[in-house]
Amino acid sequence: MKFRTEISKIIYPFHIRHGEKIMLTGSCFSDNIGKKLEFFGFDVLSNPFGIVYNPFSIAEQLERLCSQHIPEEEEYKKRNELWHHFDFHSSLSGTELKIVMADNAKLISSSFKFLSETKFLFVTLGTSIVYRIKTSNKLVANNHKYPSDYFIKESLSPEEIVSKLSDCFMKILEINPGLKIILNISPVRHLRDGLVENQRSKAKLLTAVEKITDNKNVFYFPSYEILMDDLRDYRFYSDDLIHPSPVAIEYIWEKFSEAFFENDTLGINQKVEKIRRSILHRPLFPETESYSKFIEELNSEIQKFKTAYPFVKI
């Protein structure tokens, strides 16, 4: 007897290997996968401008990288002693404007280089709901805790999403023609406005993604469907009942690995995991001779691994 509808094996006309650059951008779900890839030794750049949820802001950030557009001083706003940019996450804010501007300029330069060289770009869409500044009509990626009456709330249509992302991807592919773009929709629910609006928002994203995916340069990974239809149980959510639990993330990672990795890559992942677990080991008695021997053997194992797999980041 079967008690759930398990998703079929996902097949792509390419594989991801260690040593190939991988960039991820979008909602916090992209951070989860990015951390997994980093753990297993892949060359990863995850959310250089911080977590971002709506497709318009994701496209704006990527287009900024394509043009290497450095923000002007007037683009920054000061609030609660910090200088912010509405296109960037609060983690990129700071108390000294000149330092913030310089740091962000360096970030744009290094991220452009990574984007131009990366083989895979994962884009995680979170919501079609967006916010604009009332006085300027500028759509923002982050509100930096400004009061709600500072913004106008809107919902992007599937057509607007398709147009914005399509234009963005064309610009990226001009810079990096061999790039594979993999879209996915975050299973994290945005419940601030209720279940109905969240479902409508996700439906717009799903409709748009279907029109953009061409299975040549742009592909789709069903992270949303894995959690919502395969797992489909509150056991697989965190305590907030919104975000995926560690078990759910691990399950999606297994499906991700099955879809994108060959056996050789999976074998390297196993070796990396063994070393990582040993590094994270914390002994009760570090002063013992047995622990000193353990460290010596671990260092030897790491050196052997680096010699055999110099393209793996460990």
Q: Residue 62 corresponds to which tokens in the numbers above? A: 């990527």
Residue 191: the pLDDT is 85
Q: Which stretches does DSSP call E strand in 75-187?
A: 76-79, 82-85, 120-125, 129-133, 139-140, 151-155, 180-185
Check if the beta carbon of residue 185 is closer than 8 Å to that of residue 223.
Answer: yes
Mean of the pLDDT values across residues 35-46? Answer: 96
Q: Is the pLDDT of residue 4 over 90?
A: no
Q: Residue 249 corresponds to which tokens in the numbers above? A: 């993330």
Q: Is the pLDDT of residue 86 over 80?
A: yes
Residues 6+ apart with CB under 8 A from 83: 76, 77, 93, 94, 95, 96, 97, 100
Alpha carbons 35 and 44: distance in angstroms, whole number: 9
Question: 195-230, pLDDT tens digit by residue?
Answer: 999 999 999 999 999 999 999 999 999 999 999 999
Residue 3: the pLDDT is 76
Mean of the pLDDT values across residues 68-74? Answer: 94
- HSE toward the beta carbon, residue 283, CA cutoff 13 A: 13
Mean of the pLDDT values across residues 182-205? Answer: 92
Question: 116-145, pLDDT tens digit by residue?
Answer: 999 999 999 999 999 999 999 999 999 999
Residue 120: the pLDDT is 98
Mean of the pLDDT values across residues 89-117? Answer: 96
Mean of the pLDDT values across residues 176-184? Answer: 97
6 vs 158, which has greater pLDDT? 158
Query: Given pLDDT bands bounded at 50, 70 and 90, which one contains residue 247?
Result: very high
Query: Given pLDDT bands bounded at 50, 70 and 90, which one contains residue 264?
Result: very high
Q: What is the mean pLDDT of the chain?
A: 94
Q: Residue 124 corresponds to which tokens in the numbers above? A: 């995680």
Mean of the pLDDT values across residues 242-252? Answer: 92
| Angstrom distances, CA of residue 217 to CA of 29, 102, 121, 285 | 22, 34, 10, 53
Question: 16-33, pLDDT tens digit by residue?
Answer: 999 999 999 999 888 899
